[in-house]
Structure 1
Amino acid sequence: MKLGAFSISLSVKDIKKSKSFYENLGFHAFGGDITQKWLIMKNESTIIGLFQGMFEENMLTFNPGWNQNAENIDSFTDIRELQKQLKANGVEMLSEANETSEGPASFTIKDPDGNTILVDQHR
């Protein structure tokens, strides 16, 4: 099962303060748009997303089809296949990707401790 690039998506109260804080830890803006209140920050291979007002809690995030530089990779497991495998293993879906669609899609699940996991395919 290839889940793709991994990051932590943080629900922040003030995107500018959070950006400054993580810059002090050696992160730099890698993507996103601060005027839309979301940024992707990177320090070496570590990626965090900062999101103000977009969701309520922090999430683990996987991006099938991408590497840690947000570059397309040739070989990956499509999100619909990941979803089918997880459902077959008894994993409960909080939200689901349309299994008859192609391209970008997402689903969410929770781990046994209540941590939300977003699997978000961009291509």
Structure 2
Amino acid sequence: MELGAFSVSLAVKDISASRGFYEKLGFAPVMGEEAQNWLIMKNGDYVIGLFQGMFDKNILTFNPGWNTNSETLESFTDIREIQRVLASSGIESGATIDPDSKGPANFSVTDPDGNVILFDQHV
């Protein structure tokens, strides 16, 4: 099962201060708008999202169908299949995606320590 591109979505208090901090670590904005309180930043293959006022806590994010440059993969495991496999393993999500639907969709699960894992397919 291929989960797609991985990133960490950080719940930040001051997006400008966080941007400056991560730029010092070699990250550069590649997507988003600081004025809208969100930025996606990259350093090589490493991706972080900065989100001010959008989440209560940090989230691990997988993007089925994308590589680390947000380019669509020719072949990937569809999010509905990922959700089905997880459910058959006893990992339930809060909302179920219609198995007959196609295209973009998302769901999340929570690990035993309360960490949220978002599966967010854009294609």
How far did residue 98 of structure 1 move?
A: 3.0
Match of 1:103 in 2: 103
% identical aligned pairs: 59
Q: 1 CA distance for matches of 2:8 and 2:53?
A: 16
Match of 1:23 in 2: 23
Q: 2 CA distance for matches of 1:106 and 1:2?
A: 15
Match of 2:39 in 1: 39
Match of 1:113 in 2: 113
TM-score, normalised to structure 2, is 0.95
How far did residue 64 of structure 1 move?
A: 0.3
Map of 1:34-113 to 2, 5 A cutoff? 34-113=34-113
How far did residue 32 of structure 1 move?
A: 1.1
Q: 1 CA distance for matches of 2:16 and 2:122?
A: 26
Q: 1 CA distance for matches of 2:18 and 2:96?
A: 30
SS in 2 for 1:6: strand
The gaps in structure 1 that reach 5 residues or longer are none
How far did residue 99 of structure 1 move?
A: 2.5
TM-score, normalised to structure 1, is 0.95
Could you say what the CA RMSD is over the residues aligned between the two structures, in angstroms? 1.0
Q: 1 CA distance for matches of 2:61 and 2:19?
A: 19
The gaps in structure 2 that reach 5 residues or longer are none
1:78 corresponds to which letter in structure 2? D
SS in 2 for 1:40: strand
